[in-house]
Amino acid sequence: MQSADFRATDNSPFRSNLFILTALATVFALIHIATNGRYGFHRDEWQFLSEARHLDWGFVPFPPLDPFLERIGLSLFGLSLVGLRMFSVIAQSIALVVSGLMAKELGGNRWAQVVTLICVGLSPLPIFNATEFQYTSFDFLWWVLAAYFIVRLLKTENQRWWIAIGITLGLGMQTKYSIAFFIAGILTGLILSSARRSLKSGWFYAGAAVGFLIFLPNLLWLIHHDFISYTFLQSIHQRDLRLGRGADFLRNQLYMNVNAAAAPLAIVGLVAFFRSTRYRMFGWMFAVTFALFCLGKGRFYYVAPLYPMAVAMGSVVCERWLAHIKAWQRRTVQTALYVGVALFGAYAAAILVPFASSGPMRDFALKRNGDLREEFGWHELVRTVAGIRDTLTPEQQAHLGITVGNYGEAGSLELLGPAYHLPAPISTTNTAWLRGYPTSPPTTLIVVGLSEKEADSIFTGCRWAGHNGNPEGIHNEESDYHPDIFLCGPPRDPWSVLWKKHRDFG
């Protein structure tokens, strides 16, 4: 490994390579399009769908870009699993192509570009990000795109790239606040490397201004709402620590955030960044961002978007090393890499992708993937609630309310309930709390998502009314922790008092 700068040496036509990268990413996309309609919406997706019906410049759990995209999806596709997840598929496919192009800009020929794309595409997190509509899907894209633009900046020394970087990071801040840690890594890398000369360029400050202006509407929303999202994130982080969810941060790095067979490429790439005068900034970007999340006890997948740039550089270094060894040795190493990446990718995909709607393959995935299990039972929940409503007297139905314990129940009832002429659900979780309670408070309540003890402590005259589960017998949060539905009278406290007591985060 040399400390000299990595410069492009690709003799193959750019358009040909771009076509190959695009074709591979299209295969990735088609597999997800073919399988994304297997089960149902995930609990988190119901929250995005609910927020999409109440667009604003901010929401308690996240910035506004994801609900805005979901609103477009609803307008185009309705409640289509494949259609509403299309944005995630497109985002991950673009990220794969950009990862391959990053290898090109770092000096890689066709082999390095293709290997980078395949290694990133067959890593667990990018696979997962294309199976559901999640803010991690778009967060991943912004990190990878920003890294690519920084490569272009360092390679060409054209300071105008700061405008593209600023736009990308601004969109990132409108997607998921954790990109602020990546921004801290970028600034640290800038200061600690030769790239610090950008601090003298007006383009750097112009890019920062553009990014800030993109984020500004959400910042004003946060100020107006007393930075409630920060309070939410603190609460969720404390919950995760209490449940031990940060304990697997280091353990999951080299087989969840990156394809395990490609982990050596990521390590080599990170070392190469530090040894390169031109690209040392990337070494600091990776190390500082990683350290901030590690010390802060974040979830392991928060740093998954760092790995494509490390794999890209590692592929370039490996490609150059392979060019200087014997042909049989080169074929042996390449074959071992191909087989290892393919086997691990196939195993990860079998767990993460809903390939089968029944049978051993489905059971294999559901046993190992809690997120897939959360995609069952939502339609049954709404039908059960509608059935309970139908047992009530006309007077009770005229003054009926439905309260829920989490955002999955709220979203599914809000989106699916109108087909059964159900009233909008009442929720105190996340942004729903900001929207308040009905102006004409109901006197009869169907209570979902609470235990009998919780229901009795909040409402009067509660009795068991139905069971919440799914016909497949899948064990998930709803079937195991919220199995009972109750019929209750008015709350024990006035609604205004009740609302002050129950600002819930989840």
Q: 340-351 pLDDT, tens per residue?
A: 999 999 999 999
> Are residues 348 and 382 both part of a single domain?
no
> Are residues 347 and 412 both part of a single domain?
no
Distance from the Cα of residue 88 to its chain's centroid: 9
Any domain includes 348: yes
Question: Looking at the DSSP assignment, which residues form a beta bridge with residue 504?
Answer: 429
Structural domains counted in the chain: 2
Range(s) of the domain holding residue 480 = 378-501
Any domain includes 159: yes
Q: What is the DSSP letter of 485?
A: E
> Measured on CA atoms in the order 158, 163, 164, 169, is the torsion positive or negative?
positive
Model confidence band, residue 13 (pLDDT cutoffs 50, 70, 90): low
In whole angstroms, give the CA distance from residue 396 to residue 418.
Answer: 18
Nearest alpha-carbon partner for 131 in 41, 27, 43, 53:
41
Instruction: Name which of 123-137, 199-213, 237-251, 274-288 the model is least confident about.
Output: 237-251
User: Which pairs count as long-range contacts for 290-295, CB under 8 Å and 24+ apart, including other chains?
Assistant: 292/181, 292/184, 292/185, 293/178, 293/181, 293/249, 294/249, 294/250
Contacts of 473 (CB under 8 A, 6+ apart): none
Cβ 123 vs Cβ 258: under 8 Å: yes
Any domain includes 364: no
- Which residue, 352, 367, 396, sits at the end of a domain? 352
Compute the average pLDDT of residues 403-432.
97
Distance from the Cα of residue 277 to its chain's centroid: 33
In whole angstroms, give the CA distance from residue 110 to residue 14.
Answer: 9
Distance from the Cα of residue 460 to its chain's centroid: 40
Classified as helix, coil or strand, 502 is coil
pTM of the model: 0.94
Instruction: Outline where DSSP puts E strands in 367-452.
Output: 400-403, 444-447
Any domain includes 113: yes
Q: How far is CA 383 from CA 118, 380, 421, in A?
A: 43, 5, 11
> Are residues 287 and 234 both part of a single domain?
yes
In whole angstroms, give the CA distance from residue 157 to residue 138.
Answer: 28
> Are residues 153 and 70 both part of a single domain?
yes
pLDDT of residue 247: 86
Any domain includes 282: yes
Compute the average pLDDT of residues 149-160.
98
Position 147 pLDDT exceeds 60: yes
pLDDT tens, residue by residue, 186-241: 999 999 999 999 999 999 999 999 999 999 999 999 999 999 999 999 999 999 99
In whole angstroms, give the CA distance from residue 411 to residue 424.
Answer: 10
pLDDT of residue 153: 98
> Are residues 165 and 278 both part of a single domain?
yes
Any domain includes 7: no
Nearest alpha-carbon partner for 58 in 232, 225, 235:
225
> Are residues 391 and 242 both part of a single domain?
no
In whole angstroms, give the CA distance from residue 411 to residue 307.
Answer: 34
> Are residues 313 and 408 both part of a single domain?
no
> Are residues 132 and 233 both part of a single domain?
yes
In whole angstroms, give the CA distance from residue 182 to residue 230.
Answer: 18
pLDDT of residue 246: 82
- Which residue, 352, 387, 409, sits at the end of a domain? 352
> Are residues 348 and 236 both part of a single domain?
yes
| The CA-based dihedral angle spanning residues 430, 435, 441, 443, taken in that order and rounded to the nearest 10 degrees | -20
Any domain includes 410: yes
In whole angstroms, give the CA distance from residue 382 to residue 395.
Answer: 21
Could you give the angle at the alpha carbon of 133 between the alpha carbons of 425 and 211, nearest 5°? 105
Cβ 311 vs Cβ 120: under 8 Å: yes
Mean pLDDT, the chain, rounded, equals 95
In whole angstroms, give the CA distance from residue 420 to residue 468.
Answer: 17
Contacts of 92 (CB under 8 A, 6+ apart): 28, 29, 32, 126, 129, 130, 137, 140, 141
pLDDT of residue 1: 39
Model confidence band, residue 15 (pLDDT cutoffs 50, 70, 90): confident
> Are residues 87 and 177 both part of a single domain?
yes
Position 37 pLDDT exceeds 90: yes
Instruction: Name which of 143-152, 175-184, 216-225, 469-478 the model is least confident about.
Output: 469-478
> Measured on CA atoms in the order 362, 366, 372, 377, is the torsion positive or negative?
positive
pLDDT of residue 12: 52
> Are residues 317 and 417 both part of a single domain?
no
Classified as helix, coil or strand, 84 is helix
Any domain includes 360: no
> Are residues 278 and 382 both part of a single domain?
no
